[in-house]
Amino acid sequence: MRTRAFLLVLVAAAGCEKKVAATGAGSKVPGAPVETQPPNATGQKPAFAGQTRAPYKTANVAFKTETLASKLEHPWAVAFLPGGDMLITERPGRMRILSEDGTLSKPIAGLPKVDARGQGGLLDVAVDPAYDQNGFIYWSYAEPRGGDTNGTAVARGRLVRSASPHVDDVDIIFRQQPAMKSVNHFGSRLVFARDHTLFITLGERFITEGRMQAQKLDSDLGKIVRINTDGSIPEDNPFFGKKDVRPEIWSYGHRNIQAAALNPATGELWVVEHGTRGGDEVNRIEKGHDYGWPTIAYGIEYQGGPITGGITQHPGMDQPLYYWDPVIAPSGMAFYTGKLFPAWNGSLFVGGLAGKHVARLTLNGTRVTGEERLLAGKARIRDVREGPDGALYLLTDEENGELLRLVPAEGTRATARR
């Protein structure tokens, strides 16, 4: 009965995915916190100064927004192919090629069947670092399994670009275990490390049975895993060769990560994961570390009351670098390194679903020193990427979703200092 009640409340109130009202642009008073709403967890204190409610800090960048594609059904991810074309996934199960001239291809044939219920479907897409040599692309998706169960899976295939695009040599290189009867929290971001191993972020599937496995090392639920591109397990993974532990696990204690990127300065994986009512977290991922869910968390349960024991700190569990309460419902992120917007260099951009904006975080090493909210109220932002041209690319998660590109406004050089 507890599980059923828990599900009913969460399905009704899940800010991480459900369409909710925008939280607004927030404060634009220099030095004052951007967030003006009271936190859901009124008695909690951050572990260190600046861990939440960063002050408003603008880069004074003038930009304009261009629409590159529209009529996309809940697009989830965009990736860049050599030569200027792009891959776009749509959650119902379609992947298309958007050419430089704006032509959207037919759906790419040959993809496995997806379970598109709830938050499931076709999710992230990534291009092999050696694509010019091997032609491989990778995609994550909710895979239907027996007995109404499902789980996150990752496949790869060789992309054939033609009038009828398709993938050959398709191989499912990873399946999250165990499968669950849930339509939520698939995680699913794909990030290549500098050594070309592949990080996969995995949700804990939302239901109580899954949530409690985020701390268990014989389960993939609530984990980040690291595999080789053929699906084999790197021997330098932290738990490789240990008894009763899944060797693919890189880190654990996660809730639902839908934003992930390598820090270009360090090569470390950073992620932003969904909280409940409060507790969206920016985390720097370290090998073998425990990020606490659900033992520690900021925010409160959807139905009110404390999460687990109501604690936010515990020995051996990592603190987030930054958190939001109330949540923005993060999905998609990018560290900006391009030349098109010099003032944005070093900034971390995070998409907001419930927040309906893009959060630009000013960083000083691992500390967040400022926050600015762009395109407030525009749409649910599902993915954020820096393009090869230095523009910022965004996907809006709508029935009539769009691919947007942010470029400097005409007559500006976008050179203001951070």
pLDDT digits (tens, 9 = 90+) for 293-303: 999 999 999 99
pLDDT at 33: 96
pLDDT in tens, 333-368: 999 999 999 999 999 999 999 999 999 999 999 999
The closest alpha carbon to 220, from 267, 185, 175, 188, belongs to: 175
Q: Give me the chain's average pLDDT, please.
A: 93
% of the chain with per-residue pLDDT over 90: 91
pLDDT in tens, 190-219: 999 999 999 999 999 999 999 999 999 999
pLDDT at 25: 64
| Average pLDDT rounded to a whole number, residues 104-129 | 98
| pTM of structure | 0.93
Catalytic residue, candidates 74, 185, 289, 357: 185
Coil, strand or helix at 249: strand
The answer to whether 334 and 405 have CB atoms below 8 angstroms apart is: no
pLDDT band at 137 (very low <50, low <70, confident <90, very high): very high
| Average pLDDT rounded to a whole number, residues 368-397 | 97
At residue 21, does pLDDT exceed 80?
no
pLDDT at 417: 30
At residue 27, does pLDDT exceed 90?
no
Q: What is the DSSP string of 112-123?
A: PP---STT-SEE
Domains of the chain: 2-408 (2.120.10.30)
pLDDT in tens, 378-389: 999 999 999 999
pLDDT at 410: 77
At residue 6, does pLDDT exceed 50?
no
pLDDT at 336: 98
According to DSSP, the residues that pair with 198 across neighbouring strands are 192, 227
The closest alpha carbon to 115, from 149, 84, 81, 83, belongs to: 149
**Given CA atoms 216, 218, 219, 224 in this order, what sign does their dihedral have?**
positive
From the CB of residue 333, how many other CB atoms can be counted at a distance below 10 Å?
Answer: 24
At residue 2, does pLDDT exceed 50?
no
pLDDT band at 26 (very low <50, low <70, confident <90, very high): confident
What's the token pair of residue 292? Answer: 């606490």
| Average pLDDT rounded to a whole number, residues 311-333 | 98
% of the chain with per-residue pLDDT over 70: 92
pLDDT in tens, 60-89: 999 999 999 999 999 999 999 999 999 999
Q: Is position 185 annotated as part of the catalytic site? A: yes
